[in-house]
Amino acid sequence: NSARLYLKVKTFNSELQKEVKKATTKLRANNERLQMMADRLAVANDKLRKLDNAKSEFISIASHQLRTPLTAIKGFVSLLLEGSYGKISAEVKRVLNEVYTSNERLIELVEDLLNISRIESGRIEYNFEEVDLKKLCQEIMDTFVIRSKEKHLKLALDLPSDSLPEVLTDRNKIREVISNLVDNALKYTPKGWVKIKVVKIKNDVQISITDTGIGINKKEFPFLFSKFSRGKDINRINVGGTGLGLYVSRKIVEDLHGKIWVESRGENQGATCFVELPIKLKTK
């Protein structure tokens, strides 16, 4: 009995060793295949990184090269519209206004591309200073008054009666963000009104831009702040845009330690975009 048991155990151990050796060989082969795949992925990722860097560099160079002539065109068209080169007819003025508007869109596109290039390469610079957001929003509203009147839209500004603490942020960058949001609200509102509101919420100052425009389908919310994202309903109201503004705005607000989001009850229900920035009180 002991001999038979010994033989059985010996046979079992022999078979087990064979299975372990077979499994080890198979595992080693699988590891080698995985390592080969990992090496290939690393090479592919390196190529993609180089292509992405080349793309960003190209966008940066091309945008810089475009900005100078576009700025010159804007200046010369402005002089023509002002009559600096003589009186112009109503028809010529209408055409020049179209040129001016189209040129402005191109300048905005170039600025967005430059911002994307700077953001993605980590070269965007911020100049933090104490900013009065009530005053800043008033200035921004003033720049859009004529635009709102041209579209027969009411533009309102809701400011708290009490003073707000100044916020430590980048004045020009946050102006760019809020201006972009107001521009979007006016752009996507065929009729009704747009309201800019500033309030203090705990340790933040919140700016909201509400409109009575075309609204946002809930299916589009996950993509609102993605690069080149544009709503499916914008074509029916014939507005321009590249889908870069919200992407750039999100990146800037996050770099300024703030939050940005959009709320809408649905299509044709208007929308509200919120920006919250942390309050940094002056130390005495």
- Residue 122 falls in which region: left (phi positive, over 0), alpha (psi -120 to 50) or beta: left
Binning pLDDT at 50, 70 and 90, where does residue 163 land?
confident
76, 100, 124 - which closes a domain: 124
pLDDT in the model for residue 116: 80
Residue 41 has pLDDT above 50, yes or no: yes
pLDDT tens for 107-123 read 888 888 888 878 877 77
**CATH, residue 59:** 1.10.287.130
Residue 204 has pLDDT above 90, yes or no: yes
233-260: average pLDDT: 78
pLDDT in the model for residue 215: 92
Q: Are 202 and 100 in a shared domain?
A: no
Determine the Cα–Cα distance for residues 217 and 266; give it in Å rounded to an integer.
5
Domains of the chain: total: 2
Q: Are 56 and 73 in a shared domain?
A: yes
238-256: average pLDDT: 81
Q: Are 150 and 201 in a shared domain?
A: yes
Q: Looking at the DSSP assignment, which residues form a beta bridge with residue 277?
A: 205
Determine the Cα–Cα distance for residues 14 and 32; give it in Å rounded to an integer.
27
Q: List the 271-278 sheet strands across, edge first.
A: 154-158, 193-201, 204-211, 271-278, 259-263
Instruction: Look at residue 276 and give its three-state secondary structure.
Output: strand
pLDDT in the model for residue 50: 84
Where in the sequence is the domain holding 106, given as residue range(s)?
1-124
- The answer to whether residue 284 sits within a structural domain is no
Q: Are 228 and 199 in a shared domain?
A: yes
Residue 237 has pLDDT above 80, yes or no: no
Binning pLDDT at 50, 70 and 90, where does residue 282 land?
very low
Q: Which helix (H) or strand (E) holds 196?
A: strand 193-201
pLDDT tens for 71-113 read 899 999 999 999 898 999 999 999 999 999 888 888 888 888 8
Binning pLDDT at 50, 70 and 90, where does residue 3 land?
confident
Which residue type occupies 279? Answer: I
Three-point CA angle 160, 165, 168, nearest 5°: 130
pLDDT in the model for residue 230: 65
- The answer to whether residue 140 sits within a structural domain is yes
pLDDT above 90 covers what percent of the chain?
A: 54
Residue 66 has pLDDT above 90, yes or no: no
pLDDT in the model for residue 284: 42
- The answer to whether residue 283 sits within a structural domain is no
- The answer to whether residue 186 sits within a structural domain is yes
Q: Average model confidence (pLDDT) for the chain?
A: 87
Give the Å distances, CA to CA, from 132 to 39, 71, 139: 53, 30, 11
